[in-house]
Structure 1
Amino acid sequence: MNAFLRAAWLDITESLRARWFMFYSMVFGGIVVLLFVFGLTESRILGFTGLSRLLVTYIQLCVAILPIFVLITTVRSLAGDRDAGIFEYMLSLPVGLAAWYWGKMIGRFTVVFLPVFLAMAGAAAYSEYREIGVPWDLFAVYTALLVSLAWSFLGFGMLISTLARSPDVAQTGAFLLWLLLLMFLDLVLLGVMVREQMPLEVVVAIAVANPLQSFRTAAILLFDPQMVVLGPAAYVILDTLGREGYLALALAWPLTVGTLSAALGYRLFRRGDLP
């Protein structure tokens, strides 16, 4: 446990000194500031006012920004260490491979999630100060959804960085994965399956298997309980799982996918780097 915590802290301190972390923090902090500047807390859309409206917009922006940031910054982790020849030095120290690998992942999760959460927390604190009103139940659910989304793509990033033998290959793989999941967003490629007259339940299941889609659909469900924008797919989701059931699935599924991806990455990493 001591080695695990030290590995996590080492990754955190290294990331805090990196330029990408400063830019990453400025992006999410800047988004919240701009949303306040443009007066979204004072607008009303679909009955949402105050911080609720800002959170809805912020979550929609996170769908596009957070995954690619997590992937690109994570895939350089193991691949960069391998390219710099750090593995030989690390394996010579009395640090278990599992403690180092999982400590590095937890440290990276802390770094990538902290700016996202602090931006939301800052918006909530400012709203309390201005007496705008904070929907704490919505804030808690959105925070949990962001944890789930960040963890899933962190797992993808750890797996890709284990498979790739250079930082350039790792970045290319991460970008291709992000493009593939983005193309499946909103059932874009699944139109072919509809033309093949596949059952709607199968089409929706394939779509929801995409962590981006499950996250976005859950975000839509929070401010549109009927999910009108999804059309017939909404009936399949609501009739099969219900509102609470789908929210539970949207939280559990990305966490499961991220954990399994990271576990597979660790298995391959252990096989490839231990004598």
Structure 2
Amino acid sequence: MKNTILIAFLDIKESFRSKWFLIYLLIFGGLVAAFFISGVTNSRVLGFSGLSRLLLLFIQVCIIILPIFILVSTVRAILQDKESNVLEYLLSFPINLREYYFGKALGRLFGIFVPVFLSLVLAVIWGVIKGVNVPWELFLLYSGLLFCLCVSFLGIAFLISSLAKTAEIALALAFFVWLVALAFLDLLLIAILMKYQVDQNIIFAVALANPIEVFRIAAIGLFDPALAVIGPAAYFILDTFGRVNFLIFAHVYPIFLGILCLVLGFVVFCKKDLA
């Protein structure tokens, strides 16, 4: 455990020195600042105002940007160490593969979640200074959903990093996974539904296997308990889960998916040539 924490700490220090971490922090922090400058918290749209309105906009940003940032910044984590011989150097110390792999994952989780969380904290601090009502329950639940989304795509990224032979292949796979999760899955499901008359419950169930879709619906549900925005799918979700149970599912499933992919990646990592 001590070596795992040490590897995580080294990865965190490396993240702080890298340009991608600075860009990552500036993008999310800059977006929150831009929202305040543009007067988003002073506007009212569909009954949402203040920080609730800002968080609603932040959801749309996270759905598109957060998964691809996680995949691109994480998918080369192991491959870069292999190509630069850092992995071989680290394993010359009394550190086993499990400690290296999961220490690396723990450090990357810190690096991808903290900038997003700090952006939310910045929004809350600014709201308190300006005297805006802070929706603490929404803030905590939304922070939890963001953490779960980070865990799920972190696991997927490490699985890709273990499977790919080169950094270029890993990046290509990362973009493909992002496109499928973000855009192609919904379009493909609708096409299957229209052409083959597949039962709609099966379509909705497959859609909920997508962690981005789960995050989107759960985040919307924080502001719109009736889920009127997503249309007929709301009846399936509310009848099958209920609002509270779906929020629990939205926290448990992405973490389960992320851990599963992380463990599968570790199995592949141990079986491949490390040199």
1:138 aligns with 2:132: no
CA RMSD of superposed structures (Å): 1.3
Deviations 1:40-90 (A, max 9, x none): 101112221111110111121111001000000001100111122222222
- Distance, in Å, in 2 between the alignment partners of 1:147 and 1:273 is 32
Q: Which amino acid aligns with 2:192?
A: M
- Distance, in Å, in 1 between the alignment partners of 2:35 and 2:10 is 34
- Distance, in Å, in 2 between the alignment partners of 1:46 and 1:221 is 14
1:170 aligned partner: 170
Comparing 10-19 and 89-98, the one that deviates more: 89-98
- Checking the alignment, whether the CA contact within 8 Å between 1:184 and 1:207 is kept in structure 2 is no
- Checking the alignment, whether the CA contact within 8 Å between 2:82 and 2:274 is kept in structure 1 is no
Deviations 1:161-187 (A, max 9, x none): 1111111111111011101111246x3
2:52 aligned partner: 52
1:3 aligned partner: 3
Q: CA deviation at 1:273?
A: 4.1
1:85 aligned partner: 85
Deviations 1:146-172 (A, max 9, x none): 000011000011010111111111111
Q: Which amino acid aligns with 1:49?
A: S
Q: Which amino acid aligns with 1:208?
A: L
Unaligned runs of 5+ in 2: none
After TM superposition, list the pairs within 5 Å mapping 1:194-273 onto structure 2: 194-195=193-194, 196-273=196-273
Q: CA deviation at 1:250?
A: 1.0
- Distance, in Å, in 1 between the alignment partners of 2:150 and 2:40 is 25
1:36 aligned partner: 36
- Checking the alignment, whether the CA contact within 8 Å between 1:4 and 1:103 is kept in structure 2 is yes
- Checking the alignment, whether the CA contact within 8 Å between 1:83 and 1:165 is kept in structure 2 is no
- Distance, in Å, in 2 between the alignment partners of 1:200 and 1:231 is 13
- Checking the alignment, whether the CA contact within 8 Å between 1:155 and 1:258 is kept in structure 2 is yes
State the TM-score, normalized to the length of structure 1. Answer: 0.97
Q: Which amino acid aligns with 1:256?
A: F
Comparing 139-148 and 37-46, the one that deviates more: 37-46
Q: Which amino acid aligns with 1:111?
A: G
Unaligned runs of 5+ in 1: none
In the alignment of these two chains, the number of paired residues is 274
Q: Secondary structure at the match of 1:190?
A: helix
1:191 aligned partner: 190
Q: Secondary structure at the match of 2:125?
A: helix
- Distance, in Å, in 2 between the alignment partners of 1:135 and 1:33 is 18
1:119 aligned partner: 119
- Distance, in Å, in 2 between the alignment partners of 1:192 and 1:260 is 29
1:97 aligns with 2:97: yes
Q: Secondary structure at the match of 2:75?
A: helix
- Distance, in Å, in 2 between the alignment partners of 1:202 and 1:184 is 17
Comparing 67-76 and 87-96, the one that deviates more: 87-96
Q: CA deviation at 1:274?
A: 6.9
- Distance, in Å, in 1 between the alignment partners of 2:169 and 2:190 is 31
Q: Which amino acid aligns with 1:65?
A: I
- Distance, in Å, in 1 between the alignment partners of 2:202 and 2:124 is 39
2:18 aligned partner: 18
1:66 aligned partner: 66
- Distance, in Å, in 2 between the alignment partners of 1:92 and 1:110 is 26
- Distance, in Å, in 2 between the alignment partners of 1:163 and 1:135 is 42
Aligned identity (percent) is 45
- Distance, in Å, in 2 between the alignment partners of 1:101 and 1:233 is 39
- Distance, in Å, in 1 between the alignment partners of 2:249 and 2:104 is 27
TM superposition outliers: structure 1 runs of 4+ over 6 Å: none
State the TM-score, normalized to the length of structure 2. Answer: 0.97
Deviations 1:172-216 (A, max 9, x none): 11011101111246x321112211111111110001110010100
